[in-house]
Amino acid sequence: MLNKQHSTSITLPRGTLDLTYQTNSMANKNNLGQNDSYQLEDLLGFAQRINPKRAFLFVSKVLGRHIPVAPSTMRNAFTDLADLVPSDLPEPILVIGMAETAVGLSAGVHQALQTRYPQALLLNSTRHAQHDDGADSLLTTFCEDHSHASQHLIYQSTDIATQAQLLASKTLIMVDDEASTGNTCVNVVTALRDAGLTQLEQVHLTTLVDWSLDQENTSQQTDGAQPARMADRLTGIEFHRHHLLSGAWQWTDAPNPEPITMPSVDTTAAGSQALGFTGNWGRFPTLNSTDGFNNYLSNFQAAFAGFYNQDSFDITQLPKKILILGSNEFVWLPFLLAEWLETTSQNLKADTDAMVKFSALTRSPIALGGAITTMLSFHDNYGLGMTNFAYNVDQTEWDLIVLCVETSANSVDAMWRGLNNVLVVSPTI
C-alpha cells in the first residue's frame, strides 16, 4: 500500500537534486511510530560525491556505512525489508548483495528470509580479488556503471552440492541499498545467466530505497523515446521490486561547477596484505552467514582483555559508549559483534546512557557537507595503496572504538593505532 506522493529539493554545491517519492506502509511496524512507515528523513541524508560520473549521494541512516547507527535500528530495517519479499517463491533461492555498501544488508535480509526459506543461499559481489590458489575461481564479473569502483567480482563455490544449487537457482533476490536506474540489476542478471544460472524464473530487486520507478511510467518521453521498463529489459524473467521507500530523482547541474578529481579507488586487485580466515559470510556461496562469529567474538574478548589489562574478558568493564567499525566489505561479523554488545550493554547498564553504534570504513570518496559532517582519510589496510575514509566519526565522542579488520592488526594505518581509545580486532594470520 502506497501513501501519497511527496516532493522535495536538495541543494548541493554541484547542483540540485529534485525528488518525488512515496512512503511504503509496513506490516511489521518495528518501532516506526504512528505513521507505520519509513519517512524520507528516517532513511536518508544527502551529500556530494567526489565522482565525475554522479555528483550526489544518498546517505543511508539505517545501513551503518557512512553514518553510525544502532545495531537494533539496522536489524529492524533488515527484517522489514525481508518481510516485503513474498512467501511463495520458486526454489532454489539465491540472495545476492552488492559490494561494498550492501554486503551487510544482504546478509541481514538473507538471515531474516531463512525463517521462511532455510535453504536460501547468500552470495555477495566483491571488489577484493581473492589470492587464487586454483581452488577458488570466479563465477563471473559485472559493472556498476555509476560507481567509484565499477567492476565487481562474483565467486563460485568449491563445494559440489552448493555449486549445483547455485547454478539451479530459480529465484534471484538482489539486495542493494538503493536503485537509481536499474542498470546494475540488469548487468547482474545478464552476467549470472551467461555464467550458467539459466533456470532463473524470477528476479526480486530488494532495496532500502528505489529511485527507478519512473521507468515504469511508459507515458514519459525521453528524447522522443519511451524508457525501457525493467521487465522488458530482463526477457523471460518475472521481475518484482521491494523497498521501504520509492520514487524518482532529477539532477540539475549548478552553473559552472568546480571540477573535481576522484581518488584512485577503482581496483579489484588482491592487496599485499593476506586475508585472515573469518568464516564464510558471503564472498563465496553460503547457507550460514554467521559461520565464524563465535570465533570472532572470542577474538574480540581476548583483544578487549589485553587492551584493558584484564586476566580474562570481564563483561562488566564494557565502557558506556562503544563504536564498532567494520572495514570495507568486512562488516557482517563486526555487525553481529555490535549487536551482541548492544544487547549486553543494555542488560548490564539498564539505568545508564549505554550506547553502541555501528559504522564502517569505506573506499567511497565523499565531500564534506550535508549528511557528512566529518571525514577521516588514511591508507587502506589491504595493501592496495588506496585512500580509505571514515565519515561522521569523531574519536572524542566514544569511550571505545573497535576497529574490525580481516587483515593483520599491523596492516591498519598508524592514525588508528595512535589513538588511545581504538582497539583493533583482527583474525589470527
Q: Which of 103-112, 264-273, 280-289 has the lowest mean pLDDT?
A: 264-273
**Taking a C-beta distance cutoff of 8 angstroms, is the pair 63, 208 a contact?**
yes
pLDDT surpasses 60 at 341: yes
| 355 vs 183, residue with greater confidence | 355
pLDDT surpasses 90 at 66: yes
pLDDT surpasses 70 at 104: yes
pLDDT surpasses 50 at 305: yes
Mean pLDDT of 402-412: 96
User: Which residues make Cβ contacts (< 8 Å) with residue 157, sequence separation at least 6?
Assistant: 163, 166, 284, 285
Strand pairing category for 93-97 and 171-179: parallel
Mean pLDDT of 53-67: 93
Strand pairing category for 171-179 and 202-210: parallel
Q: What is the distance in angstroms between the CA of the first residue and the CA of the last residue of the chain?
A: 50
pLDDT surpasses 50 at 33: no
Residue 49 to residue 394: CA distance in whole angstroms? 21
Residue range 176-200, pLDDT digits in tens: 999 887 788 889 999 999 999 999 9
pLDDT surpasses 60 at 359: yes
What does the pLDDT read at residue 257? 76
Mean pLDDT of 39-56: 90
| 362 vs 212, residue with greater confidence | 362
Residue 199 to residue 33: CA distance in whole angstroms? 42
**Taking a C-beta distance cutoff of 8 angstroms, is the pair 387, 401 a contact?**
no
pLDDT surpasses 50 at 227: no
What does the pLDDT read at residue 219? 39
Residue 273 to residue 416: CA distance in whole angstroms? 17
pLDDT surpasses 50 at 149: no
- Residue 379 bridge partners (DSSP): 387
What does the pLDDT read at residue 50? 85
**Taking a C-beta distance cutoff of 8 angstroms, is the pair 429, 274 a contact?**
yes
Cα–Cα–Cα angle for 164, 167, 173, rounded to 5 degrees: 125
Q: Which of 21-35, 47-61, 255-269, 316-330 has the lowest mean pLDDT?
A: 21-35
Mean pLDDT of 15-24: 92
pLDDT surpasses 60 at 146: no
Q: What is the mean pLDDT of the chain?
A: 88
**Residue 404 pLDDT grade (very low, low, confident, very high; cuts 50, 70, 90):** very high
**Residue 223 pLDDT grade (very low, low, confident, very high; cuts 50, 70, 90):** very low
Mean pLDDT of 287-308: 95
- Residue 20 bridge partners (DSSP): 7, 248
Mean pLDDT of 225-249: 80
Mean pLDDT of 82-92: 97
**Residue 258 pLDDT grade (very low, low, confident, very high; cuts 50, 70, 90):** confident
What sign for the dihedral angle of Cα 163, 165, 170, 172? negative
**Residue 151 pLDDT grade (very low, low, confident, very high; cuts 50, 70, 90):** confident
DSSP annotation string for 233-277: HSTTSEEEEEEEEEEEEEEEEPSSPPP----S----PPPSSPPPP
Mean pLDDT of 375-387: 93
pLDDT surpasses 80 at 112: yes
Q: Which of 77-86, 209-218, 397-406 has the lowest mean pLDDT?
A: 209-218
**Residue 339 pLDDT grade (very low, low, confident, very high; cuts 50, 70, 90):** very high
Cis peptide before 100, with omega less than 30 degrees from 0?
yes
What does the pLDDT read at residue 349? 65
What does the pLDDT read at residue 250? 92
